[in-house]
Amino acid sequence: MDHYKHFHSFSHGIRHAFAHGAITLLAVGIAFSLPVAAKYILFNWWPKIEENSQLMMITEIGFATALVLLLNISKIAWDGRRSMRMAKLASLVYAREGEGWMSRWKAREMRRKLASARDVYIMSITGYDTFVSEKSELKKTLEQAYEIRVMLANPYSNGSASRVKSMENPDALLQTYREEIEASIAYLGKLAAAGKKIMLKLYENAPFWKLVVTGEYVWVQFYHDGREVKTQPEYVFGLQHDNPQRGFFAPFYNHFLGQWNDPCHPEFNFDTRELVYRNGAGNEVRREAFPGSS
């Protein structure tokens, strides 16, 4: 990650230098062309249109059109600069909506840059699209990460039941949740058996946010009632090193940590397939068999 930051800083500096040089050359070119343009308009073009009403009308229309275009371009540039300032203030580094090929390509490019993240924290409903699906764009990151903390919804809790009530065919969807979570547990179990540091907790309340924290970035989607999360916009917020409190990275990251450290969420034991409840001090207080155990 440090190597990527240095490379990004260097490449950003090179792009800034080239952009500055191009703007300087453009400004010099405009400055030198103004006297020539003014001379041409006064001594060549104006005598032609002075006695030609049609040519004068065409000139006026052309000038008005050019002025409107210039003003619109200036407004677009101003709005774009303002949007960039707001995005920087919010620490928004990426956003997408829909499943167009361009959106998927940009998402894959960004995830490829984050493949070296050492720690990955995930909060989801079933985790199927992240861990099991062949379309998952995070598998490479998960395979290279050292520590993975995962929070999934308990498919036998009142929170999951409340979630499916807002969807079509809730009984079938609840069964799908249970099957997908079993598949995610199997995948995480394989990673744990391969030597990865895997910790899984199951939360009881209705899902609210889907969060994926990879290094210095957090991927966010909102669970709207009655809608699949895959249809919702996806936002990525980054950590600002010069001012870590700025933007939305810290609130979402702290939200995950707060939920993770809440003792009401039991830990899943991969060996015994039990839910392990602990108190605030981290001491085990009881165990319950996971309802999906065979």
Q: What is the pLDDT of residues 131-179, one digit of tens each?
A: 888 777 777 788 888 899 999 999 998 888 888 888 888 889 889 999 9
* Cα 240 to Cα 252: distance, rounded to the nearest angstrom: 14
119-123/209-214 β-pairing: antiparallel
User: Cα dihedral sign for 77, 81, 87, 88?
Assistant: positive
Distance of CA 172 to the CA centre of its chain: 30
197-203/234-238 β-pairing: unpaired
Please state the rounded mean pLDDT for residues 112-129. Answer: 81
Q: Tell me the Cα Rg of the chain.
A: 28
User: Cα dihedral sign for 284, 288, 291, 294?
Assistant: positive
87-97 confidence digits (pLDDT tens): 677 778 888 87
180-199 confidence digits (pLDDT tens): 999 999 999 999 988 889 99
Please determine, for residue 272, whether its predicted confidence score (pLDDT) is greater than 60. Answer: yes
Task: With beta carbons less than 8 A apart as the criterion, state whether 177 and 155 touch.
Answer: yes
30-62 confidence digits (pLDDT tens): 545 556 666 666 566 667 666 777 777 776 677
Average confidence score pLDDT of the chain: 78
Q: Give the model's pLDDT for residue 105.
A: 56
pTM (predicted TM-score): 0.69
* Cα 126 to Cα 174: distance, rounded to the nearest angstrom: 11
Distance of CA 260 to the CA centre of its chain: 21
Please determine, for residue 256, whether its predicted confidence score (pLDDT) is greater than 80. Answer: yes
Question: Tell me, what DSSP letter sits at residue 66?
Answer: H
Task: With beta carbons less than 8 A apart as the criterion, state whether 146 and 118 touch.
Answer: yes
Residue located via tokens 């391969």? 194
Amino acid letter for position 260 = W
Q: Give the model's pLDDT for residue 99.
A: 60
Terminal-residue alpha carbon distance, the chain:
41
Q: Give the model's pLDDT for residue 207.
A: 83
Q: Give the model's pLDDT for residue 7.
A: 38
Share of the chain above pLDDT 90, in %: 23
Task: With beta carbons less than 8 A apart as the criterion, state whether 181 and 163 touch.
Answer: no
